Structures are given as structure tokens and as C-alpha cells.
């Protein structure tokens, strides 16, 4: 259960990080919820070979989450860790409901690989891994 929650948080975090690393003027502006949702749907579509219907459903799920996050930021709310975990869990469940069994396995592996990459961290960015 903890892995699932962490994976969902990680997935959204990575999506957000990817947005923040764009070039030029886009780097200085926050992306719209629609742009975030499109990025998420496109990314999962490439990784999981989604059908157009699945891509549309993933887009709608992502759009709903992005709009909620934008509303919270606009209201000046600070992120609540427990609420974020619950939201990520719900989002992950919605995404899994859209996927086929084979896609779910690929999606789970994708999240695990992303988690490992985050844990290894610095090695990807030219930093030496810390010795334990």
C-alpha cells in the first residue's frame, strides 16, 4: 500500500518536474492544467500504447487533478501530505481502471523504475552517488 501511494506521488511529481524543465518563456510561466494533463496523457500514451479512448480518459483524469492543484495553489493552501497521498491513490486507481491488464503491468514497472531512478538520484545528473 505504501509503495502504491509513493508511486502515485512520484508519478505526479515527475510530471511536474518535467514541466518545470522546459525551455524559454514556458520556463518562467506556470503551465495551464490543460497543458499538464496533455503532457501526462501523451507520456503515458507513449509508454503504454494507449488507444485514443484510453488517452482521452487519462487526459480527463489528469485535467481534474491539475485543476484541483491549481485551485489549491491559488487559494494559498499548503500541501497536506496525507491529502496528497489520498489524492494520488485515487488517481492511480482511476488510471488503473482505464488500462488493460498488460498495460497495468507495464505501468507498475514504469512507476517502479521511476522510483528507483529517483532513489539513485544524482547519478543521472553528473553527481556521484553517496556511499552508504
* Segment 55-72, tens digit of pLDDT: 999 999 999 999 988 888
Q: What do you get for the CA distance between the two ends of the chain, in Å? A: 27
In this structure, the dihedral spanned by the alpha carbons of residues 5, 6, 12 and 13, taken in order and rounded to 10 degrees, is 150
**Alpha-carbon distance values, 14 to 52, 102, 128 (Å):** 23, 23, 21
pLDDT per residue over 81-125, tens digit each? 888 888 888 999 999 999 999 999 999 998 888 888 888 875 554
pLDDT digits (tens, 9 = 90+) for 20-29: 555 554 455 6
Helix (H) or strand (E) holding 40: helix 33-48
Rounded Cα distance, 92 and 78, in Å: 22
125-131 long-range Cβ contacts below 8 angstroms, 24+ apart: none
The pTM (predicted TM-score) of the whole model is 0.66
Amino acid at each position: 500500500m505504501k509503495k502504491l501511494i509513493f508511486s502515485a506521488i512520484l508519478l505526479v511529481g515527475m510530471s511536474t518536474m518535467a514541466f518545470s524543465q522546459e525551455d524559454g518563456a514556458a520556463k518562467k510561466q506556470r503551465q495551464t492544467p490543460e497543458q499538464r494533463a496533455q503532457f501526462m496523457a501523451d507520456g503515458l500514451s507513449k509508454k503504454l500504447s494507449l488507444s485514443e479512448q484510453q488517452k482521452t480518459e487519462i487526459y480527463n483524469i489528469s485535467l481534474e487533478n491539475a485543476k484541483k492543484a491549481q485551485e489549491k495553489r491559488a487559494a494559498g493552501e499548503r500541501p497536506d501530505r496525507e491529502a496528497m497521498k489520498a489524492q494520488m491513490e485515487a488517481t492511480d486507481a482511476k488510471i488503473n481502471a482505464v488500462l488493460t491488464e498488460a498495460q497495468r503491468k507495464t505501468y507498475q514497472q514504469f512507476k517502479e523504475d521511476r522510483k528507483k531512478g529517483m532513489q539513485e538520484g544524482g547519478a543521472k545528473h553528473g553527481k556521484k552517488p553517496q556511499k552508504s
